[in-house]
Amino acid sequence: MRKMRNEHKNNLIIYILIAYGITWAILFPLIFFYSAINFYAREIWHSFGAIGPTLAAILILSRKNEQKHLKWLKKGLINIPQLKLIIFAFIPLIFFGLSLLIEIILGISVLLDVLNENNITNIVSLFFLFLPSISYGFFEEIGWRGYFLPKLQKDYNALKSTVILTIIWYFWHIPMFFYRFDLFFAIFFMFPLILSGSIVFTFLFNQSKGSILMVIILHIGYDIVSSSGLSILAIILISAFFIMMDIRAIKIYGVESLSQEEKIVI
């Protein structure tokens, strides 16, 4: 039993090191080229850095004794839960669309200003504006929630697992502190924001009985709202909604699973 526990912990450490190694190897060089290359090249390069958590999970799970988890992971990518959880996953995108409409009607929209500042003039450049949100939402969740969270929940309750994951996840972003994010914001404000999102992601993951697909959709929507800067109202609404869900998950559902369902353990 003790040997199995040690192997379990060693696998988690190896996973973290591989995820960090892949992403950091891709993104640290981007620090020196970010301002020198064009919009399309930098967005592709930055988006490519998202593959670390997924590749690390695949490498760990490709071993014979992890085939059960690998099969479960594949099912999680096509797991479609009940309708209310599907709607929940799309809430950031719903808020985004409604907020854009309200801001345009009220004449307070920053949409055109942001598009002009980023030289977004056609559907192709608009796609590349959203590419990092799609890439990170997809590849991060396969690793962080598809592999790492169920392994942590085997040893800890859902809240503690989420906090541990958030700490690892936060430091995984370090290369971006130097070219993508404001350094002051990254150091002093980014962690609580990531933690707030992580609690909601854990809620949806456990509540949907392990639907990685739903968490991917939620993550992509959240990143589009928070990263594009296209709607100030959407950022305010989704931030308030996530804080409300954080409180609900902890106070009403409890720290053991942060949901009405049992925590997912593999």
Q: What is the pLDDT of residues 146-171, one digit of tens each?
A: 999 999 999 999 999 999 999 999 99
For residue 263, which amino acid is it?
Answer: K
Whether the per-residue pLDDT at 90 is higher than 60: the answer is yes
DSSP H helix total and E strand total for the chain: 15, 0
Cβ neighbours for 214, distance < 8 A, ≥ 6 positions apart:
79, 80, 81, 85, 86, 88, 89, 204, 205, 208
Whether the per-residue pLDDT at 3 is higher than 80: the answer is no
Q: Is 257 helix (H, G, I), strand (E, B) or coil?
A: coil
Average pLDDT of the residues in 33-42: 94
Q: Is 186 exposed, middle or buried (0-12, 13-18, 19+ CB in 10 A)?
A: middle
Whether the per-residue pLDDT at 106 is higher than 80: the answer is yes
- pLDDT of 4: 57
Which residue is associated with the tokens 């990170």? 136
Average pLDDT of the residues in 203-227: 96
Q: How does the average pLDDT of the chain come out, rounded?
A: 93
d(CA 256, CA 200) in angstroms, rounded, equals 14
d(CA 180, CA 79) in angstroms, rounded, equals 33
Cβ neighbours for 256, distance < 8 A, ≥ 6 positions apart:
157, 158, 263
Encode 87-108: b = buried (16+ Cβ within 10 Å), e = exposed: ebbbbbbebbeebbeebeeeee
Q: What confidence tier does 228 reach under pLDDT thresholds 50, 70, 90?
A: confident
- pLDDT of 6: 65
- pLDDT of 239: 95
Q: What confidence tier does 194 reach under pLDDT thresholds 50, 70, 90?
A: very high
Which residue is associated with the tokens 């192997």? 7
pTM over cut 0.85: yes
Average pLDDT of the residues in 112-116: 85
Average pLDDT of the residues in 237-257: 97
SS3 readout for 207-249: HCCCCHHHHHHHHHHHHHHHHHCCCHHHHHHHHHHHHHHHHHH
- pLDDT of 118: 76
Q: Is the dihedral of CA 175, 181, 185, 189 positive or negative?
A: negative
